[in-house]
Amino acid sequence: MTMSLAIDYAPLGKPLRQEASRDDLVKMGFMAVIGLYLIIALGAPLSIMLSKSFSTYRFDLAAFEFQVSDETGETWGAPVTADALNRELGSVTDSELATSSDGRLAATKFFKDFSFRSPVRYRIRGTTDDTAFLVGSALEKGTQWREYDSGTFRRVVLRPASSLGFDNFKTYFSTPALARSIYNSALMAAISTVVTISIAFALAYGLTRSCMPLKGLFRGILTIPILVPSLLPGIALVYLFGNQGVFKDWLMGYSIYGPIGIVIGSVFFTLPHAFLIILTALSVADARHYEAAASLKASKWRTFTTVTVPGARYGIVSAAFVVFTLVITDFGLPKVIGGQYGMLAVDIYKQVIGQQNFEMGAVVSVILLLPAILAFAVDRRMQRRQVALLSARAVPYAPKPNARLDGLCLAFCCLVSLFILGMITMCQIAAVVKFWPYDLTLTAKNFAFDLMDGGGWAAYGNSIKLALLTALFGSLVVFTGAYMVEKADGFRACRGVFHFLAMMPMAVPGMVLGLAYIFFFNNPSNPFHSIYGTMTILVLCTVTHFYTVAHLTALTALKQMDPEFESVAASLKQPFHRLFFRVTVPVCLPAILNIAIYLFVNAMTTVSAVVFLYSTNTKLASVAVLNMDDAGDIAPAAAMGMMIFYTNVAAKLIHALIARGLLTRTQAWR
Amino acid sequence: MNRRMLFLLAGAMSAAFPLIASAESQLTVYTAVEAVDLDRYKATFEKAHPDITINWVRDSTGVMTAKLLAEKDNPQADVVWGLAATSLLLLKTEGMLEAYEPKGVEALDKKFVDKDTPPSWVGMDAYVAALCYNTVEGEKLGLKAPTSWDDLTKPEYKGHIVMPNPASSGTGFLDVSGWLQMWGEEKGWTFMDKLHENISSYTHSGSKPCKMAGAGEAVIGVSFEFPGAKAKSAGAPIDIIFPSEGSGWEAEATAIIAGTANLDAAKTLVDWSVTKEANEMYNAGYSVVAYPGVAKPIEHLPSDIASKMIDNDFEWAANNRGTILKEWQKRYDAKSEPKS
C-alpha cells in the first residue's frame, strides 16, 4: 500500500525502492538493537536462572576412599569407597545425599564402631582432583592420601559435588513449609483479588454512573497508593492494628501479622491499578443500550447485570489478573506484616539472603513464574476476544442525578478515601514521633538516616538518580521500540517476536528478575560483568521490570496516528527519522511524558527486583525502608517511606506543570 | 586570580599523579559492624597508620556473607573486619581466607582465636544472647520477668515472645546452637519444642525482637545485649536479662582474604585489630572484647557478661549448621501456621 502510493507520486526514473529500503534497513537496525536489549536484559538472564534451578549438590560417595589401620596404627586394611561402606551399613539414605552448596557429611557415619578414643588410625582421599572434604574447618582437596588419628578423624566432614538434576525440586516439595507457601500465596492473591475488584468496581461505578460531587478529588486520592512502596501499608498496619496499635481492638483478638494484614495491605496497594483499569472500561459506555433497557422496562438491577457489567467484563478480568499477579509476586508487604505466614516471594528472599542457597532461590523463582505466566496468558486470550464496544454511532452515556445513588456513591468513596488517607497519615505520625507508644513528643530524629542501617541519605540520593535515569533512558528505549513495532513495514515475524518480548516483563515477578540478573551478570566470564554492582544494572533492571505498561502506553499513542503520515513522508522523500522527530515525537509527547512519570514513580518505590542487585555504593531508599524495618527501626523506615511519597508527589506536580506547558506549545492542533 | 589558577593547577596535578601525591595503600574492607561505628574505627586506625586508607563496604551479616561467597572466584575484598566468626569459618572452608598469625595475638582470650595455627581469623568482640523484657507491658498483663531460658517455656508467656529465625539471622542461630551445646541434642530440641508453643513470631533479623519488645509489640524479645542497651537509651521501658543457664554468643572477627594484592597492608590492619588500643575502641559498643582486662562496663549492661558466655565451639556450629537448620525448619517452619 505504502509502496504503491509512493510510486504513484514519484517522479519517473528515480530508484525509489532503494530509498525506502535504506530507511527500512535503519529501522531494522534499530529494531535489532532494541530486540537485543530485551534478550540481554530479559531472555538470557531468565534462561540462566532456569538452568540454575537444576544445578544440584550431592555427596558423591564413590569419590571418597578410606583406609583403616588396626589397633597398632601400623597395619592398614584395603582401600574402600564410602559408597561401598554405605551399602553395607545403610547409614546415609539417598535423600540425605541430596544437599545444598553448604552441605557437610561427617565421615564417621561410615564407621559403625567409631570411637575418637581408639588408637585406630584413618586415611582418606578423593578419587578425583575436585573431591573436597574438611578437617575441622580446613579445606582439603585431591587424590593424595591423608592420615589422621581417630580424634582428628572425628572432625572430618565430606563436601558435596555439583551436578544436574531434579533434586532441588524434590527437596522443595518434600519441605512442608516451602510447599505450603504455594497454597498460601495463591489463597492470599485470590482473596485480595475478589476484595479489591469489588471495591474498585464500586468506586469506578460511582465515578462514571452517578452525579456525585468531587469526582476529580476522589480520582486523585484513589491513586495515592501508587506513589508509595508496598512496604508502607505494612508499616502503617503495624501502627494501626499491631499489639500497640491505635485500633487494635477492632481485630477482636486476631493478629494483624499474617493473612489479615496481607489482605488489607494488598487491597491498599493494588486498588489504584484495578480502579484505573475498571474506570477506563466503564467510561466507554453507549447511552443507547441504557435507553433500550429503559424502554424495555428493565429493572435497575437487570440493567446493571445485563448492560453495565457485561460492558466492563474485559476490564474486570484484566484488572483481576493484574491484582492477582501483583499480590502473588509482591515481596515488601508480606515481609513486613506477614508474620509466620509463608509466601513464595518472601521464601526467595529467605533462601538467598538468609541461607545463601541460590539454587533453592532459583527453584522458588521458577515456581513463582508459573502462576504469573498463566494469568498473563489467559488475560491475553481474553483481550483478543474483546470487540469494539463503541461504534461510530454510539452516544456517550451521561448519568442523571439520583439523590439516593449519588449519596451512596459519595459515602463509599469517602470511606475508601478515609482508609487510604488514614494509612498515609499514620505513617506520617509514626515518622515524627519520638518513641511510639511510650513517648509521643515530636522529633525529627527519625530522619537522621545516616545513623541507621540501610544506607542513609545517600540511599535517598541514589533513588532519585535511579528514578531520573530510568525515566530518561526508559522512555527513549520504550518509545523507539514501540515505534518500530507499530510503524515499520514488513518483517512481520521480527515484529511479532519483538512484541512478545516486550509483553513478557509483565509476567516476570521482580524477585525473579533480580535473582536472574545475579546469575547472569555476576559471572566473571560474562562480557557485561562489569556493570554488576553499579547504577547501570539497577537502571537496566528497572526499565525491563516496568517495560510492558510503558510499551503499551506508547503503542496506544502511536496507533492513534494515521499511517498516512508515513506514506506522505515517503512520497516527499523524507527519511523516516525526520518524520519521527518532527512529527511523531511532538504529537506523542503527552504519552512520552506519561511513560517517563510512570517509570520515575515505580523506580522510586520498587523493592523486589533491586533488593538483590544494589551494592554498598548504590543503596536505594526503598531498600532502606526494608532494611530499617528488618532491623526493627520501624519509625525511621516509615520516615524514609514518607520521603519517597513526598518525592513522588513533587514529581507528579512537576510532570503536570511541564505537561501543561508543553501541551499548549505542541498540541495546539488538537 | 593568579592564586586561583595555581590552586586549580595543583588540583589537576594531584589528580593526574595520585601516586606522587601519596605513597599510601588503599584497603577494601568488608564489614558488618554497626553503621554508627564505621567512621570512628576508620579514623582511629588511620591515625595509627596514616599510610593506609580504609574503604568500607558495609552490609548486614547475611548479605555480606552472601556477597563474599558470590565473589569466591573473583574476590573484591582485601580484608574482612567485623563479620561473624561463623561466617568467616564458612569462608575458611571454601579456602577463601589467608591464614596469618597477627603480632600480639597471644594476648587475646583463646576463645576469640581460630584453633588452627596459623589462625585464619581473630576475634574483636562478642555479642551475647540476652532477653529484652518490656516492664510496662509485663505489668499490664500481670507477668513476672523471666530469669532463665527454662522460664520462657511457662504457659503464661504464650504469644508474648519473639525470637529471630535461625535460618536468616546469625543471632537466631547462636541461640539455637547455644542451647544444643549447653544441653545436648535431646534436651535442646525438647526445650525448643516447648518454647515454640509460646513464640508469637520469628523475625528475620536478630536485633528486631529486642526493638519489638522495646516498642511493646512483644513482651519478651530473644535477642542480644547490644540492641537492648541501645533501645533502653532511646527510652524503651525494658530490662535486659541474661538467663541463668548461660548464653550462646558469637564473635565479630577479622580475616585476610586469600589472594589480596595488598597483603602487607592487610597484615598491618590485622596486627592493629588485635591491639589493646583497638579493643578499647571496640569496647565503646560491646561489653565483651577479645583482649582480657580491657572492657569497661557499658551503660544499661551488667559488668559480668563475660561470665555468662558458654564455651562456644565455632567449628561444631559451622559444620553442623546445615543439619541443625534443616531440623529446625522441619519442626517449626511447617507448624508456623497463622494464629487466626
Q: Which residue has the cell 565479630?
A: B252
| CB spacing of B207 vs A518 below 8 angstroms | no
pLDDT digits (tens, 9 = 90+) for A602-637: 999 999 889 888 887 889 999 999 989 988 889 999
Same domain assignment for residues B321 and B202? yes
**What secondary structure letter does DSSP report for A155?**
T
To probe the interface with A, which of B98, B201, B202 has the most A CB atoms within 10 Å? B201
Same domain assignment for residues B98 and B173? no
* pLDDT confidence of residue B339: 38
Structural domain includes residue B6: no
Structural domain includes residue B9: no
B232 Cβ under 8 Å from any chain A Cβ: no
pTM across the whole model: 0.85
Contacts of B56 in chain A (CB under 8 A): 616
CATH code of the domain in which B142 resides? 3.40.190.10
* pLDDT confidence of residue B122: 96
* pLDDT confidence of residue A399: 84
When pLDDT is averaged across residues A361-380 and rounded to a whole number, the result is 83
Q: Is the pLDDT of residue A14 over 60?
A: no
Q: Which residue has the cell 491513586?
A: A223
| CB spacing of A451 vs B74 below 8 angstroms | no
| CB spacing of A631 vs B211 below 8 angstroms | yes
B59 Cβ under 8 Å from any chain A Cβ: yes
| CB spacing of A136 vs B235 below 8 angstroms | no
Q: Which residue has the cell 595543583?
A: B10
| Minimal Cβ distance to A439: which of B89, B115, B235 | B235
Residues A515 and A49: beta-carbon distance below 8 Å: yes
Q: Which residue of A has its CA nearest to B136?
A: A438
Query: How many domains does chain B divide into?
Result: 2
CA-nearest of B116, B246, B130 to B181 is B246
* pLDDT confidence of residue A137: 84
CB atoms within 10 A of CB A70: 12
Contacts of B340 in chain A (CB under 8 A): 254-255, 258-260
Q: Is the pLDDT of residue A642 over 90?
A: yes
Q: How does A178-197 read in b/e, with b if 16+ C-beta sit within 10 Å?
A: bebbbebbeebbebbbebbb
Contacts of A437 in chain B (CB under 8 A): 215-216
B149 Cβ under 8 Å from any chain A Cβ: no
In chain A, what are the domain boundaries? 19-55+450-666, 56-163, 178-386+396-432
Stronger pLDDT, A502 or A494, i.e. the higher one:
A502
| Dihedral Cα B32, B36, B41, B47, nearest 10 deg | 150
- Cα B242 → chain centroid: 17
Query: A254 to chain B, minimum CA–CA distance in Å?
Result: 6
Residues A228 and A332: beta-carbon distance below 8 Å: no
Q: How many residues does chain B have?
A: 340
Same domain assignment for residues B208 and B323? yes
- Of the segments A495-509, A510-524, A594-608, which one has the largest average pLDDT value? A594-608
| Minimal Cβ distance to A255: which of B116, B320, B339 | B339
Query: B5 to chain A, minimum CA–CA distance in Å?
Result: 32
- Of the segments A165-169, A250-254, B16-20, B253-257, which one has the largest average pLDDT value? B253-257
Structural domain includes residue B3: no
pLDDT digits (tens, 9 = 90+) for A382-408: 767 665 555 667 777 888 888 889 999
When pLDDT is averaged across residues B295-320 and rounded to a whole number, the result is 88
B323 Cβ under 8 Å from any chain A Cβ: yes
B333 Cβ under 8 Å from any chain A Cβ: yes
CA-nearest of A379, A303, A361, A319 to A516 is A361
Query: A515 to chain B, minimum CA–CA distance in Å?
Result: 12
B55 Cβ under 8 Å from any chain A Cβ: no
Q: Which residue of A has its CA nearest to B162?
A: A339
| Minimal Cβ distance to A103: which of B169, B322, B339 | B322
B5 Cβ under 8 Å from any chain A Cβ: no
Same domain assignment for residues B76 and B114? yes
- pLDDT grade, residue A581 (50/70/90)? confident
* pLDDT confidence of residue A18: 47
* pLDDT confidence of residue B22: 45
Structural domain includes residue B161: yes
Q: What residues contact residue A346 under an 8 Å CB cut-off, 6+ apart?
A: A181, A331, A334, A335, A338
Stronger pLDDT, B330 or A423, i.e. the higher one:
A423
Same domain assignment for residues B90 and B188? no
Query: Cα–Cα–Cα angle for A315, A320, A326, nearest 5°?
Result: 125
Same domain assignment for residues B238 and B109? no
CA-based Rg of chain A, rounded to a whole angstrom? Answer: 31
- Of the segments A315-329, B58-72, B206-220, which one has the largest average pLDDT value? B206-220
To probe the interface with B, which of A102, A129, A137, A353 has the most B CB atoms within 10 Å? A137
Structural domain includes residue B5: no
Q: Is the pLDDT of residue A444 over 50?
A: yes
Q: Is the pLDDT of residue B1 over 80?
A: no
Q: Which residue of B has its CA nearest to A446?
A: B234
Contacts of B200 in chain A (CB under 8 A): 255, 257
| CB spacing of A137 vs B330 below 8 angstroms | no
B319 Cβ under 8 Å from any chain A Cβ: yes
| Minimal Cβ distance to A630: which of B73, B205, B236 | B205
Domain of B172? 128-247+316-333
Structural domain includes residue B69: yes
When pLDDT is averaged across residues A400-426 and rounded to a whole number, the result is 93
- Cα A426 → chain centroid: 26
Residues A202 and A319: beta-carbon distance below 8 Å: no
Q: Is the pLDDT of residue A532 over 90?
A: no
Stronger pLDDT, B271 or A308, i.e. the higher one:
B271
* pLDDT confidence of residue A190: 95
End-to-end CA distance of chain B: 75
* pLDDT confidence of residue B145: 95
Residue A382, C-alpha cell as written in the block? 481474553
Share of chain B above pLDDT 70, in %: 91
pLDDT digits (tens, 9 = 90+) for A103-135: 889 898 899 888 888 889 999 999 999 899 999
CA-nearest of B150, B93, B99 to B121 is B99
B337 Cβ under 8 Å from any chain A Cβ: yes
Q: What residues contact residue B8 under an 8 Å CB cut-off, 6+ apart?
A: none
Stronger pLDDT, A584 or A194, i.e. the higher one:
A194
Residue A188, C-alpha cell as written in the block? 492470599
- Biggest alpha carbon distance in chain B? 81
B165 Cβ under 8 Å from any chain A Cβ: yes
When pLDDT is averaged across residues A510-514 and rounded to a whole number, the result is 90
Q: Which residue of A has its CA nearest to B322?
A: A103
- pLDDT grade, residue B14 (50/70/90)? very low
pLDDT digits (tens, 9 = 90+) for A159-176: 999 888 888 898 888 888
Equal fold, A19-55+450-666 vs A178-386+396-432: yes
Same domain assignment for residues B198 and B320? yes
- pLDDT grade, residue A3 (50/70/90)? very low
CATH no., domain A19-55+450-666: 1.10.3720.10
Beta strands at B25-31 and B79-84: parallel, antiparallel or unpaired: parallel
Lowest mean pLDDT among A314-318, A321-325, B3-7, B36-40: B3-7
Q: Is the pLDDT of residue A156 over 60?
A: yes
Q: Is the pLDDT of residue A220 over 70?
A: yes
Sign of CA dihedral B272, B277, B279, B285: negative
Query: What residues of chain B, 90 to 119, have a C-beta less than 8 Å from chain A?
Result: 90, 92-95, 114-116
- Compute the distance between CA of residue A170 and CA of residue A359 in angstroms, rounded to an integer: 13
| CB spacing of A102 vs B204 below 8 angstroms | no
Contacts of A631 in chain B (CB under 8 A): 60, 205, 207-208, 211
* Helix or strand (DSSP H, E) at A189: helix A176-209
A178-386+396-432 topology per CATH: MetI-like fold (1.10.3720)
Average pLDDT, chain A: 86
| Residue A481: half-sphere exposure toward Cβ, Cα within 13 Å | 29
Lowest mean pLDDT among A284-298, A641-655, B122-136: A284-298
Residue A546, C-alpha cell as written in the block? 516496568
* pLDDT confidence of residue A490: 63
| Minimal Cβ distance to B74: which of A254, A437, A524 | A524
| Minimal Cβ distance to B89: which of A137, A616, A633 | A137
- pLDDT grade, residue A491 (50/70/90)? low
* pLDDT confidence of residue A389: 56
* pLDDT confidence of residue A96: 82
Q: Which residue of A has its CA nearest to B117?
A: A138
Same domain assignment for residues B194 and B172? yes
Contacts of B136 in chain A (CB under 8 A): 438
| CB spacing of A104 vs B89 below 8 angstroms | no
Same domain assignment for residues B192 and B94? no
- Of the segments A360-374, A417-431, A525-539, which one has the largest average pLDDT value? A417-431
Residue A330, C-alpha cell as written in the block? 509482591
| Minimal Cβ distance to B211: which of A341, A355, A633 | A633
Query: B98 to chain A, minimum CA–CA distance in Å?
Result: 11
| CB spacing of B319 vs A175 below 8 angstroms | no
When pLDDT is averaged across residues A249-268 and rounded to a whole number, the result is 91
Same domain assignment for residues B132 and B121? no
When pLDDT is averaged across residues B14-21 and rounded to a whole number, the result is 43
* pLDDT confidence of residue A489: 65
Contacts of B338 in chain A (CB under 8 A): 255, 258-259, 339-341
Same domain assignment for residues B135 and B186? yes
- Of the segments B4-13, B31-40, B112-121, which one has the largest average pLDDT value? B112-121
Amino acid identity of residue A527, one-letter, is P
Same domain assignment for residues B146 and B200? yes
